[in-house]
Amino acid sequence: MNKDDENIDWKLKLKYGQLKTAFQHFTLIAEGIVGNLAEGFSFPKGKAFMGMKVWASSSDEAGDMIQKNWGANWFFNNGRNIFL
Say which amino acid occupies 4. Answer: D
Hey, which bits of 1-84 come out as E strands? 24-34, 46-56, 75-76, 82-83
- Put simply, whether the predicted model's pTM sits higher than 0.85 gets the answer no
- Asked whether the predicted pLDDT for residue 53 surpasses 60, the reply is yes
Q: How many CB atoms lie within 10 A of CB 37?
A: 14
Check residue 6 and give its pLDDT: 63
Average pLDDT, the chain: 76
Kindly calculate the radius of gyration of the chain based on its CA atoms and give it in whole angstroms: 17
- Asked whether the predicted pLDDT for residue 62 surpasses 70, the reply is yes
Check residue 57 and give its pLDDT: 92
pLDDT digits (tens, 9 = 90+) for 15-41: 888 888 889 889 988 777 777 776 777
Task: Give the mean pLDDT of 53-77.
Answer: 75
